Amino acid sequence: MQGTNNVNYKWGNSGENLSFRGQYGGVFLIPKNHEYVRKLKQHLGILGIKVELLKPFHYSSLSNIMKIMWFSRRGFRIIHVHWLYVFPFPLVMKVFYWLCRVLGLKIIWEMHNILPHNFKPKDVFAGKWFYERVDGIIYHSEADIERAEKALETTVKKPSLIVPHGNFNDSYENKIGRAEARERLKIPTNKKVILCFGFIRKNRGYEYLIEATRDMHDTVVIIAGRLLEEETYEKLLEYQKFAPNLKIFAKWIPNEEVQVFFNACDIVVLPYTQITTSGVIPLAYSFSRPVITSAIGGIKDVVNEKTGILVPPGEPDALRRAIVQLFEMDVEGMGRAAHEFSNHQLDWEPITGNIKKLYLRVLGDQSFQSSS
């Protein structure tokens, strides 16, 4: 999307000359417990922006309100929302919006998901309501602009910014080697290993991965992630009866165990059927693993011929060909290229620099200054 309403990271700079003055000026980020948000906080801090984190309103409505009121009186001017699941009910979202307006706070929505996975009509209504009232939008790909307007059934234009999903380099421990990782997961060292990582839910396209690999007897397929949909998990257990090469780890993966799964695998395969952007791709890159994934959403911007292979969604034959092709290529070399891509193209410095510029724009190019 071109024009004055958009700042595209490909042409932006780090915004280092923009001044955030005031002893207490800053930004709220919500939700609190996510590695992406932690990294964003870290790099906004490098730019001199104070950050306070808020829990989802499911757990902390009253304390969030008190915290917002307290820090807004000390110069905080922006609330940066990442996912709409932080509002358990539409009424909570509306009270949040009203509170922000009363306190003079601007709202930024970073659209990791346009709509929730397995969304319902009420989610479309809530997403549209929120979109049309926020002060700025952050997208992770240019294609998401048109997709969002179509999905949310709106023609309203907002000040917006396109930045990639920042990298996870150095976010997780990476101390163990392949042999130890496979020993922990009870996987033979002579097998090829594919990892499909992330929340266990329908949009992962597991059936296409299982179909694509069912005759690959020298290959182990790992599906690992927190269980979100019981029905999807039950189907996986049915598939496993006829797929002895399939290993399922349906559990919350602690941060210190993430390295076990990525260091055990050779490649990461993510046959999404529906997605806006993927945090698993930069996570795979951080462990120097190439990726095969579906050519949908913003994924097409972050996977290229040096870092992986894109395939049409829902086509197991195409997925199988891509897996065979990738294993015939220089997998370790592509992994190194993926890590290098992550270092440069998903670097947090230009990302947060441009986010800072959007903050200033929605504030009317004013610096953050204490109101006390």
Strands of the sheet containing 219-225, edge to edge, are: 246-250, 219-225, 192-197, 267-270, 291-294, 308-311
Residue 3 — very low, low, confident or very high, per pLDDT cuts 50/70/90? Answer: very low
Fold exhibited by the domain 6-166+347-362: Rossmann fold (3.40.50)
> Residue 359: pLDDT above 70?
yes
pLDDT for residue 138 is more than 70: yes
Q: What is the band of 82 on the pLDDT scale with cuts at 50, 70, 90? A: very high
100 touches 87 (CB < 8 A): no
User: What is the third-level CATH fold of 178-345?
Assistant: Rossmann fold (3.40.50)
- What does the mean pLDDT of the chain come to? 90
Closest C-alpha among 267, 240, 282, 271 to residue 326 = 267
CA 103 to chain centre: 30
Residue extents of the structural domains in the chain: 6-166+347-362, 178-345
Tell me if 6-166+347-362 shares its fold with 178-345: yes
User: What is the model's pLDDT at position 15?
Assistant: 42
Q: Please compute the mean of the pLDDT values over residues 245-256 and round it to a whole number.
A: 95
Helix axes 316-327, 206-213, angle to 10 degrees: 60
pLDDT digit string (tens) for 160-205?
A: 999 999 999 999 999 999 999 999 999 999 999 999 999 999 999 9
Which pLDDT belongs to residue 366?
56
* Helix ranges restricted to H, the chain: 35-46, 57-72, 90-103, 121-131, 143-151, 178-185, 206-213, 230-241, 258-264, 280-286, 316-327, 331-345, 348-362
- Is the distance from CB of 371 to CB of 191 less than 8 angstroms? no
Per-residue pLDDT of 277-292, as tens digits, reads 899 999 999 999 999 9
Interstrand relation of 219-225 and 192-197 (parallel, antiparallel or unpaired): parallel
pLDDT of res. 77? 95
Furthest C-alpha separation in the chain = 68
What is the per-residue pLDDT for 60? 79
pLDDT digit string, tens, across residues 329-355:
999 999 999 999 999 999 999 999 999
> Hey, what are 4's tokens?
């004055």
Query: Of 311, 309, 249, 258, nearest to 286 (Cα)?
Result: 258
| Dist CA 302 CA 293 (whole Å) | 11
